[in-house]
């Protein structure tokens, strides 16, 4: 009897746990992933979007992130130094050890962005959630932000723009850079580069909320050694790199 009772208790306990899991998990999942903001609600400083780039997972010769960004935001394939590049692949070698590293470079979305400080018209601005953007209606094309950016992250539109993406209008004579796919983020999606990297199976890019200690990015930053580029400048970038 006691055996039967034990089995029944075990069944009830496991069943309850399963039922509770089924009931709570979607809520938990929604809590974790659904960051979509309803229209009209401003970005909140409770969130700080950031990215962790695991260079050990970044494949040499793969430019899926660059292609995805171009497709998403409608900038043409670069051919000259006058063409815009919101994101680029860079291959570097450690001088002391010869270790080779691949990584994507783009706007680092600094907490203290020099581009925002120097912009005379406040066209360069930082949203409450840390995303650094250019208001293309306010940019006068002085290029002071390009002089100020330590990461060469910004490009100037040197030619008339013919093919616009409906979600990311661009304009000749203004400056632009990575927006962290702000429109996708506002819809609760991941930036195009992150999604494409995962699709390729590399998972070198982790995007998420740096303010949420339970987010994957926060947990990874806590558990793996990472650095920010030019940390000496004290700009507190939202991007961290593993393997540098």
Partner 1 sequence: MAQEKTFAQIESRYFWLLAALGALVVGAGLYSAYFMESHGHVVTGMNNHVVWGMPHVFAIFMIVAASGVLNVASVGSVFGKHVYKARAPLAGLLSIALLAGGLTVLMLDLGRPDRIIVALTNYNPTSMFAWNALLYSGLFTTVALYLWTLMEKRMNPWSKPMGFVVFGWRIILTTGTGLIFAFLVARQAYASAILPPMFIVLSFAWGLAVFLIVQSAMFSWNELKLNPAIQQRMKNLLGVFIVGSLYLVAAYHLTNLYFARESAFEHFILVSGGIYPALFWGGYVVVGSALPLLLIFTPGMGKGIHVLAASLLTLAGAFALLYVFIIGGEAFPLDIFPGYQVISSSFGDGQVASYAPSLPEIVLGTGGLAIAFMITIAGVRALNFLPHDDPKAVHQD
Binding site for partner 1 (CB under 8 A): 78, 80-85, 88-96, 100-101, 105, 114, 116-123, 137-144, 146-152, 154-160, 171-175, 229-230, 233, 244
C-alpha to C-alpha distance for 195 and 190, rounded to whole angstroms: 6
Q: Which is nearer to partner 1, 74 or 150 (CB)?
A: 150
Beta carbon of residue 27, minimum distance to partner 1 (angstroms, whole number): 43
Beta carbon of residue 56, minimum distance to partner 1 (angstroms, whole number): 15
Q: Which is nearer to partner 1, 9 or 143 (CB)?
A: 143
DSSP state letter for 78: P
Task: Please count the other Cβ atoms lying within 10 Å of the Cβ belonging to residue 150.
Answer: 16
Beta carbon of residue 24, minimum distance to partner 1 (angstroms, whole number): 45
Say if residues 126 and 132 touch (Cβ distance below 8 Å). yes
Beta carbon of residue 15, minimum distance to partner 1 (angstroms, whole number): 55
Q: Which is nearer to partner 1, 31 or 135 (CB)?
A: 135
Task: Please count the other Cβ atoms lying within 10 Å of the Cβ belonging to residue 131.
Answer: 23
- How far is it between the farthest Cα atoms of the chain? 85
Q: Which is nearer to partner 1, 4 or 81 (CB)?
A: 81
List of residues 6+ apart from 3 with CB closer than 8 A? none
The structure tokens 């030619």 sit at 159
Beta carbon of residue 198, minimum distance to partner 1 (angstroms, whole number): 22
> Could you give the strand order of the β-sheet that contains 226-227, starting from the edge strand earlier in sequence?
205-209, 49-54, 239-242, 226-227
Say if residues 99 and 225 touch (Cβ distance below 8 Å). no
DSSP state letter for 165: B
Q: Which is nearer to partner 1, 168 or 244 (CB)?
A: 244
C-alpha to C-alpha distance for 223 and 152, rounded to whole angstroms: 30
Beta carbon of residue 220, minimum distance to partner 1 (angstroms, whole number): 21
Q: Which is nearer to partner 1, 139 or 185 (CB)?
A: 139
């Amino acid at each position: 009897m006691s055996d039967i009772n034990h089995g029944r208790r075990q069944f009830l306990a496991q069943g309850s746990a399963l039922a509770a899991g089924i009931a709570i998990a979607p809520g938990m999942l929604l809590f974790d992933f659904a960051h979509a903001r309803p229209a009209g609600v401003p970005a909140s400083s409770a969130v700080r979007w950031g990215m962790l780039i695991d260079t050990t997972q970044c494949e040499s010769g793969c430019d899926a992130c660059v292609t995805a960004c171009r497709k998403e935001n409608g900038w043409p394939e670069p051919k000259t130094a006058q063409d815009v590049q919101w994101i680029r692949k860079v291959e570097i070698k450690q001088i002391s050890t010869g270790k080779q590293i691949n990584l994507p470079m783009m706007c680092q979305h600094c907490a203290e962005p020099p581009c925002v400080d120097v912009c005379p018209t406040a066209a360069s601005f930082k949203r409450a959630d840390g995303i650094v953007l250019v208001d293309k209606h306010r940019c006068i094309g002085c290029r002071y932000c390009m002089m100020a950016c330590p990461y060469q992250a910004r490009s100037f539109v040197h030619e008339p723009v013919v093919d616009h993406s409906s979600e990311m209008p661009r304009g000749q004579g203004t400056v632009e850079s990575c927006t962290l796919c702000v429109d996708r983020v506002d819809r609760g999606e991941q930036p195009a580069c992150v999604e494409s990297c995962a699709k390729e199976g590399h998972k070198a890019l982790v995007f998420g909320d740096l303010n949420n200690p339970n987010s994957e990015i926060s947990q990874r930053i806590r558990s793996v050694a990472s650095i920010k580029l030019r940390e000496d400048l004290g700009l507190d970038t939202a991007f961290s790199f593993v393997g540098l």
